[in-house]
Chains A and B, each alone.
Chain A
Amino acid sequence: KQEVTQIPAALSVPEGENLVLNCSFTDSAIYNLQWFRQDPGKGLTSLLLIQSSQREQTSGRLNASLDKSSGRSTLYIAASQPGDSATYLCAVRPRTNDYKLSFGAGTTVTVRA
């Protein structure tokens, strides 16, 4: 069974600092990995999706890397802003014909003004 872990569970940084969020998974045979943002009491917003054949994906200030062999992904958020405060979740999709996502518990980020 795929286990997804996100450490730390919470992170507080001053505005302007770069954020580094970690995600690890136990089974490296994944199809893709998705990073989501969740605001308190809200649904999930997809940030980036990385295919298993890719090493990284970028969108604006966000960059996600994937090292499938070591079972790790990292989400980098450059020049953090108070509006980046949220919970960030990673999720892996296991195989081509398996569509359910396995999620980590998330990292809750607070960016201090």
Chain B
Amino acid sequence: DTGVSQNPRHKITKRGQNVTFRCDPISEHNRLYWYRQTLGQGPEFLTYFQNEAQLEKSRLLSDRFSAERPKGSFSTLEIQRTEQGDSAMYLCASSQLAGISYEQYFGPGTRLTVT
């Protein structure tokens, strides 16, 4: 297994455009998380899925953001009508459903720049 993968790695878009990011978790992991990280800060939780169910959303996730995990495998995060304040690194993580630690494993991130 090659770990959590994210695509694209970099995205530059103009303000007002829509963007979509994809995350492929570790294959046996049932939980999938999205975080956002701005420069000089730690990641902030956005949302998480258990299988295909979206179980929690942060208040950071405005109406312009939507996340899906249609078949309980990969997930997409869409941002509509992007704003300059959306510029950040978007990180995906996954973890197992069972086990003691539920350790989260992170992908390489998608760097979004809104011009």
Residues of A within 8 A of B (CB): 4, 32, 34, 36, 41-46, 49, 51, 89, 91, 93, 99-106
What is the number of contacts between chain A and chain B, taking CB atoms within 8 Å? 60
Interface contact A100-B33, CB-CB below 8 Å: yes
Using a Cβ–Cβ cut-off of 8 Å, how many residues does chain B contribute to the interface with A? 29
A101-B104, A102-B45 provided; 10 other pairs, C-beta below 8 A? A32-B101, A34-B103, A43-B6, A44-B43, A91-B42, A99-B102, A103-B43, A103-B44, A104-B42, A105-B41
Q: How far is the CB of A105 from chain B (nearest CB, A)?
A: 5
Interface contact B102-A93, CB-CB below 8 Å: yes
Stretch at the interface among B11-19, B62-70, B71-79, B105-113: B105-113
A–B pairs, 17, beta carbons within 8 Å: A4-B42, A34-B103, A43-B91, A43-B109, A44-B43, A44-B91, A44-B106, A49-B101, A51-B100, A99-B31, A99-B48, A99-B95, A101-B43, A101-B104, A102-B45, A103-B43, A105-B42
